[in-house]
Structure 1
Amino acid sequence: MIISHNLTALNTMNKLKQKDLAVSKSLGKLSSGLRINGASDDAAGLAISEKMRGQIRGLNQASRNIQDGISLIQVADGAMQEIHSMLQRMNELAVQASNGTYSGSDRLNIQSEVEQLIEEIDEIAGNTGFNGIKLLNGNNEKTEKTEKTGSVVSVNNPPNNKLITISSPVGTSVSEILNNLLTVFNEAKNGQVGDSDSKRVSSKFTLSINNDELSIVCDTGDGFLLSGGSPNLFYQGYIGGSYKYKFTEFINENDFINIMDIGGANGGDTLKFNFSSISKEPEEQKEQKGLTLQIGANSGETLNIKLPNVTTSAIGISSIDVSTIPNAESSLSSISAAIDKVSAERARMGAYQNRLEHSRNNVVTYAENLTAAESRIRDVDMAKEMMELMKNQIFTQAGQAMLLQTNTQPQAILQLLK
């Protein structure tokens, strides 16, 4: 027997410490409600559950994103519903104006209401928004500026005949096209485009533009002849030393202007201005945009929503005129087409909403099932852990009693010393 080291007491004390640690862990799990309070409790389970937690929180946010998207669509649809009502009223007014029982002044009064409805449609389309995002004008943004170009070439019998082609974007106004014409003409006159012959021919004239009015001066004094292929080109008279012509409506690809010098050494020199369209959008026009909704917890789980454009220009009613019977009758088809366009946009937005509602239901169910899976990994089984706690507490109490007994064993040595 030895007394320097009480090995029985040391072993008992080691077991008691283990049970105390087990009791401490059980108390921690029961107090937190979690089976895994640290990586040492279950390293693999912790990694899996943390991934699940990130997915669950992402899905919950995606559900809120979807609800925001649904709210945005509902705002847009509510505004388009009112636009539909105004279009129906415009159709009613056009039918009324088509009737021969009304006088011209009556139709002007009807036209006044139509114009107010057109303005209000543009007002709603331009101002309806959600969190600063415009919803009914296509969420338009300006595109890059499109250059207006021109070229000068020889035609028919060089060098006497020169063709200046003015290329402008579709929808460009008369005044802009004429300004473009003036720019290219002056470039030819200064020798920047074309050749020496085109410079010589153009140097005989001076052109100026005032809105949709073209002023021409023949600097050689030989006189000139102007002709045009546009039914909208009207001679205004010889005013202030120049001949003035005016385009009253528009210029298209079938229009042209011929300016001919009818005297001098090179009589018959001709400049022909031809007009063509280019497909690029001008700066004033805008490109329709949309928005992207994040409807899932992972990258790429998105829905692109193309926002409607129901401005009067987009649906083709910006210039509706019912002041005459023929105009009123022709406007009926335009209004009907506009109603169909708005109906199509509402149907598309409604389809988006239905899809988002199904997406939201899926996301909510997905998050619920993941939460249940994460709970089975991370959460503690309270009943089972209570059993472990009671067992370990009993072991602790027994260990304490046994430690007391092992401390009395060295006292047996005293019997040998008597």
Structure 2
Amino acid sequence: MIISHNLTALNTMSNLKRKDIAVSKSLGKLSSGLRINGASDDAAGLAISEKMRGQIRGLNQASKNIQDGISLIQTADGAMQEIQSMLQRMNELAVQASNSTYTDSNRVNIQSEVEQLKEEIDEIAGNTEFNGIKLLNGNTEKTSAVVSVDNPPNNKLVTITSPAGTSVSEILNNLLTLFNEVKGGQLGDSDSKRVSSKFTLSINNDELSIRCDTGDGFGLSGGSPNLFYQGYTGGSYIYKFTEFINENDFIYISDIGGTYGGDTLKFNFSSISEDQKGVTLQIGANSGETLDINLPNVTSTAIGISSIDVSTISNAESSLSSISGAIDKVSAERARMGAYQNRLEHSQNNVLNYAENLTTAESRIRDADMAKEIMELTKNQIFTQAGQAMFLQANTQPQTILQLLK
């Protein structure tokens, strides 16, 4: 018998510590409701469940995206329904004007209502929005471009293509905006920035002021018959626009001095070049899971009724086919948007089912079986109590040696 080391007590204490740790883990799982509270509980399970959690949260957001997409489509369809009602009224008026029982003055009155209906169609098509996105004008925007090419012997020709706009002020604002973006380096390349930096442009109503900041001066020429020289003031040459710019019009501004004499800016104007845009919905949790929605264009010009005239019998009769075609176009657009909505509703159901099933799978990996953990806790608590009792007995066992010393 030995007393320097109480091996029985050491063994009992080791077992007691393991049971204390087991009790602590069981309490942690029961208090959190999770089987995995740290990577040490199940490293592989943690990695799998975290990936599932990312998918589940992504799917829940995709569900919200789909709901927003459906709302966008419903907004567009509601506006097109009203446009279609106005087209039906226009058809009714055209049929009425085709009847010879009405006088020319009657048809003039009918034409007045037709004009108002056309204006309202364009108003709805141009102003119907969802979160700032135009829905019924094709969401088009005028294109612009900047091209810099060699213009031998050692200078550049920079061509800036600007939207023409619908008024003189819009023309000049478009031109000035693009020029300043090229000059500031936001558009074009380093050569176009260098060339444009030679000039300063400003506008005042329908007047364009041009100043050459480097070189010995500049020359201005172009194919626009609507640009007229007004004079020289404060170092700037002033030109006045008197009419709208046409699509094929252009302006040359050339540097005639300096190191790179011959550098030239050319302004092109494009009145019809437009890029139609749509919206892209992220309908899944992963990259590439998207749906592109092409937005309709139901302006009076796009559906072919901008020139409808019912002021004479012959014009009223010919207008009937145009109005009928417009009704068919709007109906086709509504049908297309309705098809998008049906698809999105099915995508919504799929996303919800997908998220539900992934949540179930993640729960099996991550969540604690409460009944099992309570059983484990009870078992380990009993072992702990028994270990405490045995530890007391193990500590009293060496006292029997005292009997030998008596």
Q: TM-score, normalised by structure 1?
A: 0.68
How much has 1:283 moved relative to structure 2? 3.3
- 2:311 counterpart of 1:297: no
**How do 1:264-413 and structure 2 match up within 5 A?**
282-413=270-401
- Supply the AA of the counterpart residue of 2:357: N
Task: Determine the C-alpha separation between the residues in 2 that align with 1:210 and 1:29.
Answer: 82
Distance 1:392-1:85 versus aligned 2 partners, 3 A rule: same
| Counterparts of 2:15 and 2:271, CA distance in 1 | 84
1:94–1:332 CA contact under 8 A, matched in 2: yes
Instruction: Tell me by how many angstroms 1:368 deviates.
Output: 0.3
Structure 1: which amino acid aligns with 2:105? S
What residue identity is the alignment partner of 1:7? L
Task: Report how far residue 146 of structure 1 moved.
Answer: 11
Look up the match of 2:9: 9
Indicate whether 1:46 and 2:34 are aligned: no
Deviation (angstroms), 1:282: 3.4
Residue 145 of structure 1 contacts residue 283 of structure 1 at CA under 8 Å; is this kept in 2?
Answer: no
1:349 maps to amino acid: M
User: Does residue 57 of structure 1 match 2:45?
Assistant: no
Aligned residue runs from structure 1 range 176-187, under 5 A? none
In the alignment, the residues of structure 1 paired with residue 111 and residue 275 of structure 2 have an alpha-carbon distance, to the nearest angstrom, of: 31
Which residue matches 2:176?
none
Tell me how far 1:394 sits from its aligned partner.
Answer: 0.1
How many pairs are equivalent? 297
Give the whole-Å Cα distance in 2 for the aligned partners of 1:94 and 1:79.
23
Counterpart Cα distance in 1 of 2:80 and 2:146: 32
How far apart are residue 122 of structure 1 and its match?
Answer: 0.3
What is the SS of the residue equivalent to 1:297?
coil
Whole-angstrom CA distance in 2 between matches of 1:318 and 1:70: 30
The answer (yes or no) to whether the contact 1:290–1:305 under 8 Å persists in 2 is: yes
Which segments of 5 or more consecutive residues in structure 2 lack a partner in the other structure? 148-164, 167-222, 228-245, 247-268
- 5+ long unaligned stretches in structure 1: 148-171, 174-206, 212-249, 251-280
Q: SS of the residue aligned with 2:270?
A: coil
SS of the residue aligned with 1:293?
A: strand
Deviation at 1:412, TM superposition (A): 1.0
Structure 1 runs of 4+ aligned residues shifted over 2 Å read 144-147, 207-211, 281-287
SS at match of 1:313: coil
CA RMSD, Structure 1 to Structure 2 (Å): 2.5
- Measured at CA, do residues 66 and 208 of structure 1 come closer, stay the same or move farther in structure 2, by a change above 3 Å? closer
Give the 5 Å matches for 1:209-288: 282-288=270-276
Partners of 1:44 and 1:210 in 2: how far apart? 75
Alignment partners' CA distance in 2, 1:101 and 1:403: 117
Letter in 2 for 1:410: P
Residues 361-403 of structure 1: per-residue CA shift (max 9 Å, x gap): 0000000000000000000000000000000000000000000
Shift of 1:142: 1.1
Question: Does the residue aligned with 2:301 lie in a helix, a strand or coil?
Answer: helix
Letter in 2 for 1:117: L
Query: Corresponding residue for 1:89?
Result: 89
The residue aligned with 2:137 is 137
TM-score (normalizing by structure 2): 0.70
Partner of 1:77: 77
Identity across aligned pairs (percent)? Answer: 83
Q: 2-side partners of 1:134 and 1:61: how far apart?
A: 24
Q: Which residue of 2 aligns with 1:105?
A: 105
